[in-house]
Amino acid sequence: MKVYTGTGDRGKTSLFSGERVSKANLQIEVYGEIDELNSIIGALVAALAPEQTDLVDELEHIQSNLFDISAILATTPDSPSMNQLRSFSREEFDALEKTIDARQDKLTELKGFILPGGHMTAAWSHIARTVCRRIERQMVSFLAEYFQGEIPEQYRNAQIYLNRLSDYFFVVARYCNHISGTAEKLWKK
């Protein structure tokens, strides 16, 4: 199977539900940014030490969730194609909150703003955090523009998940510095 099709050469692409839209469409922009985040998570996973299997498992689960969110965003809400997708439920961000709390319990109390960086894995996690925040902002714009009122639950849950996910990456960055023995640098005012 060829990777290239040529069908997007004129600036249009297909949604999962079949509609052709501009590649500049905000819907395409949001799930394209999720693809960027997923790639950054892949770099973070590649940088982790082999013994960090629990963290790798968490991150790979998150990558799968991001594919689910992308699929939802790549489908017209009232399309029959939506029935083929896994519904994105509140359970996903509830589980993420528990994971954040468990990781944070292993860290020292934060006494100020920290500069992004430290160990390479922490730096990748900070990059993931900032990209995740950008996606969340774009998703808010897309959902407001597209639905102009009541947002369906699985879209709302996906938006909440992205909000929690950026918090998760902040805690993971701190955790990566902690397990590598790298000191965090505080912002000097």
What is the predicted pLDDT for the residue at 3? 67
Pairwise CA distance, residues 177 & 119, whole Å: 6
Residue-wise pLDDT tens digits, 13-43: 666 676 777 666 888 889 889 999 999 999 9
| Assigned token pair, 56 | 């790798």
Whole-model pTM: value is: 0.89
- Quick one: which of 63, 87, 60 has its CA closest to 75? 87
Q: What CATH number was assigned to the domain covering residues 21-75+85-180?
A: 1.20.1200.10
- Quick one: which of 131, 136, 138 has its CA closest to 169? 131
What is the predicted pLDDT for the residue at 44? 98
Residue-wise pLDDT tens digits, 160-181: 999 999 999 999 999 999 999 9
Handedness of CA 98, 74, 10, 142 (dihedral sign): negative
Domain boundaries of the chain, sorted by first residue: 21-75+85-180
Residues near 93 by beta carbon (within 8 Å), at least 6 away in sequence: 157, 160, 161, 164
Pairwise CA distance, residues 4 & 92, whole Å: 34
- 133 vs 9, residue with greater confidence: 133
DSSP label at residue 109: P
Q: Binning pLDDT at 50, 70 and 90, where does residue 81 land?
A: confident
Range from 28-32, 129-133, 155-159 that averages highest in pLDDT: 129-133
